[in-house]
Amino acid sequence: MTTKSTRERLLDVGLELLLQRGYNDLGIQALLDASGAPRGSFYHHFRSKEDFALQVIDRYMVEVHQGLDMALGDESLPTLDRVRRFFEISQDKYGRDGYLGCMLGGLGQELSGVSDVFRKKIEWCFSEIVERIAGCLDMARQRGELPADTDTRYMANLLLNCWEGAALRSRLLRDPAPLEAMLDFYFSAAKTA
């Protein structure tokens, strides 16, 4: 069994704590205590709290891309069902986290008005997700599952925007119902378009 490095432990715990507490309420001492990292190790591995949070976002995106790979690459599913499957995988993770929603959405709401660095980073992450979804929707269009004139990038952006709104409501209610209702509505509309 491989022991994780101090840096890896800090990033893993950072994923949890940023989701639970947000950026402004995350104290470095609390992070050190929760990770069991020795005092002084934080600044050995990260230049600042901002640097740390940006690296946690990168770690989060690794998980997002794994979910995208798993769902969008599942050739046993029709193309639109692959896209839906990605969001169902995300919903399952949200459930395990107590319906705290999307870390990108939470940090974006908290920081985008006060930090261009975070605003640009989070928008870049969302753009990456949109590009992957649009690629799968392009395939659906090519296979005749969507009308030939479908703007797949617009459709992918709309889907992500609706999802992030539903994730916020799910967080407020600590309930998956907004996520489920949004997916049902979006995909029933997409299949009848």
List the domain boundaries for the chain.
49-192
Q: Given this model, what pLDDT does residue 176 score? A: 95
Task: State the pTM of this model.
Answer: 0.93
- What would the two tokens of residue 17 be? 């704590």
Q: Given this model, what pLDDT does residue 1 score? A: 52
The burial class, CB within 10 Å (0-12 / 13-18 / 19+), for 93 is middle
Q: Given this model, what pLDDT does residue 159 score? A: 97
49-192: which CATH topology?
Tetracycline Repressor; domain 2 (1.10.357)
pLDDT tens per residue across span 8-27: 999 999 999 999 999 999 99
